[in-house]
Each structure stands twice: as C-alpha cells, then as structure tokens.
Structure 1
Amino acid sequence: MKVGTPTPLSARSVVTRLWFTIAVTITLIAVAIASGTLTSATVKQPWFDQVAFGVPSFAAGRWWTPLSGSVFALTPLTLVVLLVFVIIGVGLCEWLLGHARTIAVTVGLQLVGVVGGVLVAWLLGLTGWGWGVQVAGDLDTGLSAGALGAAIVASAAIRQPWRGRLRLAVFALVLTSLVFLGYLADVIHLVAIVVAWPLGTELAGRRPQLAPQPSSRDEVRKLTAAFFVLSAVLGVIGTLVERQGPLGTFGGDAPDPWIWAGAALNIAIGVGLLRGRRGWWVLALVLTLTPLLLVGLAIALLPDELIAASSALFVLNVVMLIAQVLLLIVGRAAFRNPSTRRVRRLSGARIGGTATEDERTRAREMVTTLGSANRLSWIGTWSENSWWFPASGQGVVSYQVQGRTVIGLGDPVTAPGEVAAVAEEFVTAAADAGLGACIFSATDEVRDWAEARGWVSLAVAQEAVIDLSELAFTGKKWQDIRTALNQAAKAGIEHRLVRLATQPRAIRVQVRSISAEWVGEKQLPEMGFTLGGVDEAMDEQVWVSLAIDADGTVHGFTSWLPVHAIGGEVTGWTLDVMRRAPESFRYTMEFLIASACQQFQADGYQMVSLSGAPLAQRELAEPGALDLVVQRLGTAIEPYYGFASLERFKDKFMPRHEPLWLVAADEAAMARAGVAIAKAYLAHATPLQLLSLMRPPE
C-alpha cells in the first residue's frame, strides 16, 4: 500500500469489522416484528410485566428480566432511538476496541446499569421522596444502558476534541433527561455511564485524567455557545413537559410567552458567541448576571414561604444562570474579536482601553504601506492585540497589557529612520499610563536603540531565514527534503497554496479538526500571542499550504504570513501554523514547507522566514543569568510544545539565523516582562497546568 493512501472500505470489510453491532441491530428489529411491538407499544402488551425490569420485577422474583427486557423497546419511537444508540455507541466501540471487548462492555454495562439502577431506585423508594417512590414503581425495557456505556468506553480510544465532545453529549443527554423526566431508564443510564468512564480509560490504555484538558479558542466558543442553546431548549422543555422529576414538578401551567422570548435570546447569544465577538460576550455576561442579582434580591426580601414554594423550573434556571456566568468568565480569553460595528474614539497617544476594529484596520494599513524590517510584523495585526499610534499618525506599535506591563510586539512600524523615535514615544506613553514597557521579538535595530538608552536586552529566539534566490534542493544535505517530495508524489499527495477562507467547507472542517486534535493531545493549552491558529489562517492576506490527496483528505497544513518590507512591498512569507493529521505520512511537514518555498521562489519572492520558536535559544558561549532563566523555561516547556525540536527540524532547510530580542529598562523590569510574556503565551492555562511545568512529564 502506498504511504498516505487511505485504506479502502468495502461492504464486506465493514460487516466483518462490525458484525456484533449488525447482529444486535437485526435482533432488536426482528424481536420487534415478531412480538408486534414494531407498531404497538411494548408497555401495552399483556406480557410486559414478565419481561420488563424494575423494582417490582425483582421483588416478584423475576430475575431473568435484565436479559429479557434488553431486547425490547418501550415504544416504536424509542426503538428508533435505541437503534441510533446501538449503531453509534456499540458500533464505535467495536470499530475501535474489537469484537470481544465490545461484547463484554455492552453486555456487562447493560447488566451493571440495570441491576445498579434498580438498586438505586429501590433505595430512593425507601426514603418516601415523591419522585423516589415514583421511580421505584417504574418498569423499563431496552439495551440503551449498554449502548450509551459502550459510547463512553469508546470515547477513551478517540482523540481530542472528539473524545470530550462525545462524553459531553452523552452526559448532557442523560442528565437532561434525568432532571426533566426522571424515569427509571434515566437512573439506569447514569449508573452505566459513570461505571463506563474509568472502564474506558483502562481498556484504551489511557491513564485517568481528572483535570480538564486544554481546548482551543474555537472549541471554547463552541462549548459556550452550545451551553446557551441548551439553556434555551431546557427552558422550553421545562414548560411543555409535565412530569415529576428529582427537582420537583415541571410543566402543567399555561405556557409563558416570555419563555419563548428567553429561548430566542439564548439562541441569538449562542450564535454571537460562536463568532468569538467581545461584544456578544459582554452582552451575555450582563444578561446572565442581571437575573441572578434579581434572584438574590428576591431571596433577601420575599418571605421564606414563597421562596420554598418556588417551582423546579425556577431552581433549574438559577442553576443554569450560575453555570453560564462561570463558563463565560473561565472562557473569556476566547472572546477577544472586536465587533466590526463598534466605533470608539480613543486618543492615539494613549495606551489602554478597548481596541476597536477601526484601529485594527488602521494598523493593517500601516503595515501594508510602511512595512517593517521585522519579518513578524503581520502578527501585530491579529485581533487579540491592541494598537498604539504615535502623535504623527505615521506608524503603529502592536501591544498587549499583562498586569502592569505593556508588551510591545516586534519593531514599531513606521517610516525609515523613525523606529527609535516611535519606540521612545511608545515607552513614554506607557509610563504616562503608569505601566512598565518592554518590546518583544525585536530586531537588532530596536536592540541598538534600547542599549543606547541604557536598557538591557535578551535573545529570546533565533529566526530561521531562507534566501529563495539561492535555494536548490540538490546535494546530499537535501536528501530528506527530496525524499519528502518523492514520497508525496508516489502517494498521490499534492501541494495546494490557497486562501483558507475561500476553500470549500469540507476542507475548512478538516483543517479545524486537525488543529483541534493537535491542541487536545497537549497537556498545556494552545499558545497564543505570537503563535497563531486557524482563526489567523482564515485571514485573506494569509496563504495556507495544504497537503491533500486525490480523495480530498487533508494530511497537514501550514500557514504563511506576508512580509512587508520597508516601503510596504511583500517580499516574502513567514511560517506560522504547522499541523499534521495523526495518520499522515512521515514527511508531511517537510513536503509542505519545501513545496511552499518552491512556489514562492517561482513567484519571484526574495525570502521565506521559518519564524523563531519562543524560548528556543541556540547554545551560547557564556550565557548570562537571564539567558539561563530563558533556557530553564524553554527546557520546562519543551516536552509539551517541542520548540527546541522544532528548531532542529527547521535546520533541515539550511536557513541562516538572526536573533530576536526582548528589551526592557533593567533586570528587574526584564523579570517582570518575562512573567508578562509567559502569561500572554499561556493565557488559557490553569494554575494546575502551570504547576505541571515545575515537574518533568511522565
């Protein structure tokens, strides 16, 4: 088989690989046809009590019911739902873990769920609790516990973010049904999936991870948006469905028109949050905090009798509001894109305040017309930055504020010969705002200015630059690159240089999936600041290299930022995002970079920058104390992000190296700048994840 060629799937191979799932599906349908329950509810059959499981069945000595009840569905509609659960849950488990494990998991979790759920129902009935007594009297049928449990077990064998998505979907489904409906089946499902979670990690060979795993900004947006949409759905269900659940009785009253208005508002907020807009995040926070404050006021002022008589739906709404607020606050870093409609006038010489889309547009115009000696200048146009403009109006400094430190990003973009003057004005503006300033990833020109004013400097990266005029993949030293190009050709994989935003949805979905899997497998979250992601690659000024086969499968991608030389002309491209699919062929990255270099060379560009990996210094003859700190942090972060390994990889392309500097007022300011930069890169990391840097990875 050729490298990188996907394995063809025939009907025979699918049947061979999923025979247990197919057998279960056929059995359930055959039993429904033979028993007449394909068109009539099982619960209406005279023999229902003899096959259904529950506390009454166990009390009557019908111990066979966990087996007999598993092959029936309560109604024709639930049969359809059950078949979907089996095909997805059992099918996925069998595909990933094999026949033997899937049979054991499905049958075992079905029995554990039924027996454990009935035991819980019996204990609830003993309490005299109204809902508990109701559940203790229920009877149920179906294989849904085994199917849902199999899905949770299978989730341990798939990659992030799909592992988390599948688990979240199953738990959300089970818990929602338990709260609103509260049937015996819901209790059985909960027991099955709780047991399945640790079982799955054991069967998949993964260690249980109690700490939340890092998510990309896109994933956080999707989760938050989904939660608001779920809130809308739950509000409607809680009004329309009349049932006594564990929180009390839902429904039964006349539908409140405001319920529909609230649901529509939640859905609208969810759509806005999906775009990562800061304005929608603020609106969502205000609209969730306001009713919470009113509830708190009501609790303080209203009589205890009225509070105690509050409906179950009211209690649930309060819980959902609290969860929404927490989710918005924890995930706030994912919502930094300013609204395109917001226009706010800010003083050009002032540092601080909220950046606007107009300022970002102005910053992009400065980069494209004035250019910069810094090949990373396009990074300064990203939406997570703010922008300061000098009094002359001719220039811009991109920056971020972390604590009491302003981090200038790269060289000031300005007219030739004005870099030092603009840098001086920027530092003064920071001081006027009561903040300390530093400039990060700067070139030698900024370092010379800094040392002339008595500042200190520290090499924080080595930019790898390829001169395209001299590039030729000939000779022994280029053997790996030629091998990559040849293997890709044999495997039918081609290189496409595209604007990602204009690509078909199928391509964009694959690119986001590859990136999300890469992020999900890291023990630390996706880094930001000078390291972009798929959002930045969607810029129509950015080229994206795709390694794609004849079937349209994307094996990997890289993104290339424009380099505007002094005067604004695009003279080259800077490498940003590098991602490859887990099953891609070995030389995917070499193929992508080499192919892009060949294309840029053919188009007449002068150079390609492979960028500089943060904190990946080259060996220094006599490193100073600050250099040793950078090396120590780089060593700590290396197992998680592989920056030093990335630098060694770039050496395959025989680049020349130019230092990138961090400049600050003195050693103390340099230490504060280091902390601020670490926060900027790891803005999404939790305290526990940061502590993990202090110990070696396992």
Structure 2
Amino acid sequence: MTAVTAWLARVARRTGTLIATHPFTAAMTALILVLALATGPIHGPRRPLHIWLGTGPGPLVDGHWWTPVTSVLFTDNLAELIVALILTVLLVGAAEQLMGTWRTAVSYFATAIVGTVGGIALQLLASTTGEMWARNVHNLVVLDVFTALGGTIMAASAFAGALWRRRIRVLTVLIAVMYVLYSGMPSDVYRLLAVLAGLGLGVLLRPGARLGGWVRSSHHEIRVLLASAVTITAIGPVIGLLTTARYGLLSPIALLFTSDVPDKGSVLERCQAFAVTRQCVHDLTIERINGLGPILLSVLPLLVLLVAAYGLLRGNRFALWLAVSVNALLAALSALYFGILPLGSAPHPHVGARYWEVTAILALSALLPLAIAILLIAFRQHFPVRPPARSVRRYVLTVVISGVVLAALYVLVGYLQKDTGFTRPLDLSDLLDDVLERFVPVSFLRREPVQYLPTTPLAIFVYRNIGTVFWLFVIIGAIPVMRGRASWRKGTSDATRVRELLERGGGDPISFMATWPGNDYWFDPTDGRAIAYRVVGRIAITTGGPFGAHPPHDRSIDRFARFCDDNGWTPVFYSVDAGLEPLFEQMGWSTMVVAEETVIRPQQWETTGKKWQDVRSSINRAQRAGIRAEWTTYQALPLSSAVQLSDISEQWVAEKDLPEMGFTLGGLDELRDPAVMLMLAIDESGRIEGVTSWLPNYRNGLVIGWTLDFMRRRPGSINGVMEFLIAEAATRMRDEGVEFMSLSAAPLAHTASAGGQGGDGEARGMDRILNFLSVSLEPVYGFRSLLKFKRKFQPELHPLIMAYPDPVALPAIGIALVRAYLPQLSVRQAVALASGRG
C-alpha cells in the first residue's frame, strides 16, 4: 500500500507541475470535458442547444455571433470527445510549451474565428451561384474542436526548431487537405482555413519566423516527409468510411454497413448506361462490392502505398518508383472514369447540371495522386538505395505474368460459362471488354454501367477475386525487393558479403563507408577483395581502396581498372593512402593529394603541455557546465534522444545554402547502423548538446580503430563541446586498447603539396579546380576550418591521394566529384558556387 501511495503522490506532483506550467492547456481540457458532461458526452448537445451553440451559415445569419467560439468547445459524440481531449493535451500542450500561455490562448480562439467565419463566407458565396456542395451542406450546424487545435499548432510551428517547424506545417496542412477531399464537411473547410490562418498568425506573433521559401532539409528528413505524405494520402480514403461523406475512394465500402444487397436483375433493369440516379449508383456499388474480394480490391492498392512508404523511409529507390507507379495509376483511373468517359459520352436526357458538377468534383481526385507522383520524381535523388537489378526485373516479370495469367483465367472461365454463368449470354468480346475492370477498385466503377453480372459460384468467385489476387502479388513481391533481398535469391547479398570482408580487415580508415547507400561493389574473382565505387557520368570513383585482405593490393587495383575499362568507365581511386603512389606510377597513372587524414594513437593519448591548453580548457568548461559523455549506439537511444539528434542535425542543415553533402560525408541515416558508435555530450537535464559518430575498422573480426564521421552541435551550446567529445572518445579508446583513432580527412582540404607525376600542367589544373571548390565551399561547410580544428589534437598527418589513368579526363573527374558530393546541387546553386557566393 505504501508503494501505491508513493506512486500516486509522484503522479499527483507531476500532474500539478504540468498544470502549473501549462495553465491554458489544463483549462481548455477541463472546460471541454465539463461542457461535454453537462450537455451529453455520448451524443453531444441535443436540439435546440446544438443549434444555439453550433455554427454555420444559418446560425450566423440568424445573429448567433458567438458560435465561432462556442462551436470549438463541444463535440458530437463520445469517440470525438476522447480524441479531442487527447489532442488538446498533446497539441495545445506542445503549443503552450513552444510559445507561452497568452500566445496559445490568442491562437486558439483567433484561428478558430478566422477559419469558421471564412468558411461560412465561402459557403454563402457558393450558395449564391447554386454550387451543389454549398447547397447540400447549407443547413448543417457544426461543432468541431479540431478547428481550433489545427490553427493553434500551426501558429506554434513558428516557434519550433527547423525540424519540427517543417514537420508540423507539412503534415498539418496535408491532413487538413485530405479531410476536405475525402470528407468534405463544412467543418473540414473551416479547419483548413484555420490551419492557414495559424500559419500567418505564427509569423505575426514571431516576426522573425520564416513563412515563405523552404528551409533546407537533410536527405533523412526529406524521406520522412515524403513517406509521411504517401502514408497520409494512402489512409486518407478511410476518412470517407468514417464520415457521412461519400466521395472518398473507399466510400463504397461504407455502403455495406447501411444497406442490403439488391437483386441483380432489378439492378440491371433500372441502371442503363448513364441513366445515373442516386439509387442506381447506390445499388450498382452494393452489388459490385458484395463479397470479400471486391472489398480487398478497394483496399489493396492503398496498402501498396503503405508498403512503399516503409521503403521510402529506408531511402529505397524501388519504393519510390512503386509509389510513383501506383499514384500515377490512381490518377489515370480517376481521370478516365471520372472525367474522360463521362465527358466522351452523351448524357441521358434526364441528367442535368448536377451530374456534370459531380463528374467535375470526382475528376479533381486525379490531381492529388498526380501531385504526389510528381513530387516523388522531383526528389528521387534523395533515395540512393538501389536493390539488385535482377530483383527488380524478377518483380516486374512476376507482376506482368500474374496479371496476364489471371486475365486469361477470367476470359477462359467466362467463355466456358458464357451461356449459363451470367445474367445474359456472353461472347468473347464482352469478356475482353470487361476483363481489365476486374483489376480496378470498385470505387472507380461506381458510375460505370453494368452489362452483366455472374450467377454461378465459379463465375462469381473468378469475377470477384482475380483483381484481389493480382494486387496481393504486387504487395508480397515488393516487400523482399525493398528489404534488399528477394526470396528467390540464393546465398548472401552483396551488402552482407561486404560486411564480412570489412571484418576481415585490410582496408583503410574510411573502408566502412562502403556500406553506405549509393555504392556499387566489385569483388575480385581471384582473391576475394572488394572495392566500393560509384559511377557518375562515365567516371567510376572508388570509396577508398580495396578491403577484405591484407596488403599488397596491387593485383586487385589492376583488375578493377580492367573491369572499369571493359564497361567504358574511367577508374578513379579517391582518398587512398599515399603509400600506393609508387604502384600507380608503375601503372602510368597520375596522382595528386586531395586530403590529409588526421590520426591519433590512443595509447599515447595525453593532454599535458602548452599545445593542449585549448583542449584542456574545453574539457574543464564542459565539466563545470555539468556535461557528461555517453558512448552508445543509435539503437540504444530512447526516443526522446533520437528526436533530439534529428533536431540538431536539421538545424545544422537548415543553416546551409547548399544541399547536404554525401559520398564520404555521412548524415543522420548512417548513424543508425548497429556497428556505428556515438559519443554524446549530455547536460544535467538530459539535453544533448553535441554528437559525434565513429566508424569501425577491423582486423580478423576485432575492432582495431575508429574513424570520426558525423559531427553536430546544438546551436547555442557551450564552446568546446566538440573538443570535449573527441577527448572523451580518445580516453575511452585508450582504455579499450584501440590501436588508432582517425579524425578522418576534411574533404578538399590539406597542407601537403600535390604529388604524382611531378605536377604536370593537367595535375596543376585539377589541383586548382579542387582548390577553387574548397575555397567556394569554405563559407558553407568550413573544410579548411575543420582541418585546422583537428590539428588541435596534435595528430599524425597522412596524405590521401587521388589516382587517375588519363589527365585528359580531369575536367570530367572534377564534375563527377562535385556531383558525388552534391548530387542535389541545382543550377542556381552551381552558379552561386562558381561565383563564390556559395
């Protein structure tokens, strides 16, 4: 009993603290709950109270001026009440945390008033033109807490960091738009306008907030946003199922819960081509969707999008094209069945303007999936993970063959039962005309005339299920391809093989970067070594040197060069140890220094002496501030810490005027590898002030060294937090007996002179190109400043060289390097870079 009492006391104290720090959130939550209990929590306020409290054109025109405020304090039913209370605590609480109490209160009521009044004005204006939607909803009285919630969190986004500001805005607007498209109730319109009002109000409350333009995103964040957009558009049609609206792609399923299946004969007799009446469309839809197969056929294409969204989060290029294909298909079907076919046929004499208005509204549904498809194509460079080409070919072949076989099965069964299996005798042309529609979700066919229906069990089974089986093939076949392996493949994948070779050793400190997305692999057929490379244009740039066996690597380098020549590529060994320079000279290649690796020997680590004064001061400053170091992995982090890392990274990226770099520079995605270690700087409150990541280097399965990769610090953190993290990492590695600690190389920054073929004209020209690129990028990425920072730790300097066979290819190599580091570089940014304004 004592333990329970203590737990209750802790909960009470925590609740009291939250109420004290979030008074408006607590007040609104309590007010909504009390009003619901007083007026009826299960069914909401009854008439006439509902009309007196709710808003809409009628109440406002009748003088109920208070309804834009009172309408956001009540709910219509118990489920809505529960969701409203939860979201009030979460969203209003988050808003109050971000922008304070008075701003939250102003946002809550101001956005609700603006959104509601603006929506009612649109309704009244549309009613004067005779617009169908406005006429149908004119008499509805709205109670909707979510209007104020959407506007409040949108206003608060102006006070959030770069990461959450973008996420709040994108996802909130997208959800509001989805409700308008798939539900279409007046409250949905009010909510969307309140969200837009919140966006503007946030800028007014915080004048420095950014409204226009786009804050730069990391690759990881773009994947998160696009995956979220695909997910929301996939589950959006469920809104049509949960509301009284009947225009969503899944809305026909809702009819199953409202009516019995009509008689087949009466349906066909009453529903002739384009004699569209409400009851006819209703009965056709009921008959078409009767049974499990047609229901699944309406759901499975959306499930494909959810599977694709999972792949988008992993940066999978196949998932991107799968999502593009499905969205393009949905857009094409919408345009065809809701636009082209109705417009291409003469309407029935009894069909008036309402028919064409409905047709136009439905045709607009093609725009959303089309927009998503275009967006995915525009950002395709952020999805570098490519499954094996063989897996993709197998998948495409499987889908095509399954579609052809299932279509043939339908035609065959239909032809065998052409006289007895359907409501009228059929010929082959009837079956061929109808077969493609068996693969189309019934929601697209809701206004299509039905020429015949199956009557025998076999005909019914094939008629209703071949489309479902096809889409199951699409989903099941896609999952292993997106996970990087396919069920028909034998043995281990290239990625698994690369990791095995890395653990053998024999590589250089950056060899672990071979595991990153975007690399292809060449495996030496003679001695099993591997080389990671990426082809940019016709240039094959390696990620370091060979690995998987101990030096010398002479034969592997020569065989890789021949492999590239056979494929018409120019091989370039990039950031390899200068000790290989004599080998390249023997091959007749040119070399030049492109970077300097900074190496520390942990067993000799100490910070005594005048040269170490800077580092000692940073360590002492961090310790006085109560900051501690934590050696961990990304998988071991609690969710709150992972979110903090995302926030720190996004704020760093948002400050740059150029895209996030890649190739030999890792980002947030690369931290997630279980083999990568993190060193975090954490203050007394648990806030992460800085992070570094360390890539392993192996020998015979044991880690003998670590290479620094990811470095980020929270804006406003104490000076010296990075020096503190590196010093703590060195101390830990010394205690663990690690042989070396590489601070890696700052790309395009070094103090050594160019090596190679004596500094011929071409090499000097390339050196000038890389020097110009380094100088241009310095204001943005600070590579030279980074090299100067690393020299604080008194490291060994190991020159890294680039080796290439043909000096004539140097211009192409320079362009390939820029594209490798900055694959998303736009023309405008390239011009700015070239003019020194990068």
Give the TM-score normalised by the residue count of structure 1. 0.84
CA distance in 2, matches of 1:505, 1:49: 45
Question: Which residue is 1:326 aligned to?
Answer: 374
Name which of structure 1's ranges 84-93 and 401-410 shifts more when overlaid on structure 2.
84-93
1:614-653 equivalent positions in 2, closer than 5 A: 614-618=747-751, 624-653=764-793
Distance 1:225 1:136, change over 3 A: same
Distance 1:583 1:678, change over 3 A: same
CA distance in 2, matches of 1:538, 1:244: 43
In the alignment, is residue 360 of structure 1 matched against residue 408 of structure 2?
A: no
Distance 1:366 1:262, change over 3 A: closer
| Alignment equivalent of 1:305, drawn from 339, 345, 348 | 345
In the alignment, is residue 41 of structure 1 matched against residue 44 of structure 2?
A: yes
CA distance in 2, matches of 1:442, 1:304: 65
Question: Which residue is 1:590 aligned to?
Answer: 723
1:364-402: CA deviation from partner (whole Å, max 9, x where unpaired) = 333433503x32222223342111133424422210011
Contact 2:25 2:89 in 1 (8 A): yes
Question: Which residue is 1:160 aligned to?
Answer: 162
Contact 1:236 1:260 in 2 (8 A): no
In the alignment, is residue 608 of structure 1 matched against residue 756 of structure 2?
A: no
SS at match of 2:705: strand
Question: Which residue is 2:8 aligned to?
Answer: none
1:145 to partner: Cα distance: 3.5
Question: Which residue is 1:126 aligned to?
Answer: 128
Task: Look up the equivalent residue of 2:769 and give its one-letter code.
Answer: V
CA distance in 2, matches of 1:191, 1:161: 24
| Alignment equivalent of 1:538, drawn from 672, 675, 685 | 672
In the alignment, is residue 59 of structure 1 matched against residue 72 of structure 2?
A: no
Task: Look up the equivalent residue of 2:44 and give its one-letter code.
Answer: A
CA distance in 1, matches of 2:739, 2:535: 35
Name which of structure 1's ranges 157-166 and 106-115 shifts more when overlaid on structure 2.
106-115
1:575 to partner: Cα distance: 0.6
* More relative contact order, 1 or 2 (CA 8 Å, 6+ apart): 1
Name which of structure 1's ranges 517-526 and 399-408 shifts more when overlaid on structure 2.
517-526
Contact 2:247 2:362 in 1 (8 A): no
1:574 to partner: Cα distance: 1.0
Distance 1:380 1:70, change over 3 A: closer
| Alignment equivalent of 1:407, drawn from 527, 541, 548 | 541
1:398-427: CA deviation from partner (whole Å, max 9, x where unpaired) = 100112221122123376664344333323
Question: Which residue is 2:115 aligned to?
Answer: 113
CA distance in 2, matches of 1:695, 1:15: 55
CA distance in 2, matches of 1:661, 1:548: 37
| Alignment equivalent of 2:818, drawn from 666, 675, 678 | 678
Distance 1:76 1:694, change over 3 A: farther
1:464 to partner: Cα distance: 1.4
CA distance in 2, matches of 1:528, 1:518: 15
Question: Which residue is 1:351 aligned to?
Answer: none
1:625 to partner: Cα distance: 4.2
Task: Look up the equivalent residue of 1:653 and give its one-letter code.
Answer: F
1:328-355: CA deviation from partner (whole Å, max 9, x where unpaired) = 434444444466998899xxxxxxxx99
Name which of structure 1's ranges 276-285 and 528-537 shifts more when overlaid on structure 2.
276-285
SS at match of 1:546: strand
1:442 to partner: Cα distance: 2.1
Contact 2:54 2:141 in 1 (8 A): yes
CA distance in 2, matches of 1:509, 1:97: 20
Question: Which residue is 2:437 aligned to?
Answer: none
1:169-218: CA deviation from partner (whole Å, max 9, x where unpaired) = 32122112211222222222222222322332343343535444443444
Task: Look up the equivalent residue of 1:101 and give its one-letter code.
Answer: R
1:457-488: CA deviation from partner (whole Å, max 9, x where unpaired) = 44332221123343211123323333343444
Q: CA RMSD in A?
A: 4.0
1:184-333 equivalent positions in 2, closer than 5 A: 184-206=186-208, 208=210, 210-238=212-240, 241-243=243-245, 252=255, 253-254=285-286, 255=289, 256-257=294-295, 258-278=297-317, 280-281=319-320, 283-288=322-327, 304-305=344-345, 315=363, 318-333=366-381
Contact 1:367 1:378 in 2 (8 A): yes
CA distance in 2, matches of 1:133, 1:690: 53
1:601 to partner: Cα distance: 1.6
Question: Which residue is 1:388 aligned to?
Answer: 522
SS at match of 1:156: helix
Give the TM-score normalised by the residue count of structure 2. 0.71
Task: Look up the equivalent residue of 2:562 and give its one-letter code.
Answer: T
1:505-520 equivalent positions in 2, closer than 5 A: 508=642, 510-512=644-646, 514-520=648-654
CA distance in 1, matches of 2:203, 2:799: 45
1:51 to partner: Cα distance: 4.0
SS at match of 2:787: helix
Contact 1:468 1:597 in 2 (8 A): yes
Contact 2:183 2:239 in 1 (8 A): no
Task: Look up the equivalent residue of 1:634 and give its one-letter code.
Answer: S
CA distance in 2, matches of 1:113, 1:295: 30
Distance 1:362 1:439, change over 3 A: same
Distance 1:239 1:581, change over 3 A: same
Task: Look up the equivalent residue of 1:149 and give its one-letter code.
Answer: G
SS at match of 1:182: coil
Distance 1:75 1:292, change over 3 A: closer
1:359 to partner: Cα distance: 2.6
Distance 1:95 1:542, change over 3 A: closer
CA distance in 1, matches of 2:186, 2:79: 18
CA distance in 2, matches of 1:169, 1:300: 32
CA distance in 2, matches of 1:313, 1:57: 28
Question: Which residue is 1:430 aligned to?
Answer: 564
CA distance in 2, matches of 1:344, 1:177: 35
Question: Which residue is 1:5 aligned to?
Answer: none
Larger of the two Rg values belongs to structure: 2
In the alignment, is residue 557 of structure 1 matched against residue 691 of structure 2?
A: yes
Task: Look up the equivalent residue of 2:741 and give its one-letter code.
Answer: V
| Alignment equivalent of 2:797, drawn from 645, 649, 657 | 657
Contact 1:371 1:568 in 2 (8 A): no
Task: Look up the equivalent residue of 1:274 and give its one-letter code.
Answer: L
Contact 1:524 1:640 in 2 (8 A): yes
CA distance in 2, matches of 1:56, 1:301: 38
Name which of structure 1's ranges 309-318 and 131-140 shifts more when overlaid on structure 2.
309-318
Question: Which residue is 1:4 aligned to?
Answer: none
1:663 to partner: Cα distance: 3.1
In the alignment, is residue 369 of structure 1 matched against residue 371 of structure 2?
A: no
CA distance in 2, matches of 1:543, 1:68: 54
CA distance in 2, matches of 1:172, 1:290: 21
Contact 1:247 1:312 in 2 (8 A): no
Task: Look up the equivalent residue of 2:556 and give its one-letter code.
Answer: V
Distance 1:11 1:40, change over 3 A: closer
1:646-677: CA deviation from partner (whole Å, max 9, x where unpaired) = 22322221223222223334555222122212
CA distance in 2, matches of 1:66, 1:369: 69
CA distance in 2, matches of 1:569, 1:199: 57
Task: Look up the equivalent residue of 2:520 and give its one-letter code.
Answer: S
Contact 2:237 2:248 in 1 (8 A): no
Matched pairs, number: 678
SS at match of 1:459: strand
Task: Look up the equivalent residue of 1:21 and give its one-letter code.
Answer: T
1:488-518: CA deviation from partner (whole Å, max 9, x where unpaired) = 4455544333344456666555545544554
Contact 1:468 1:605 in 2 (8 A): yes
CA distance in 2, matches of 1:497, 1:71: 48
Contact 1:288 1:321 in 2 (8 A): yes
Contact 1:82 1:142 in 2 (8 A): no
Q: Percent identity?
A: 32
Contact 1:21 1:94 in 2 (8 A): yes
1:326 to partner: Cα distance: 3.0
Contact 1:131 1:244 in 2 (8 A): no
1:585 to partner: Cα distance: 4.4
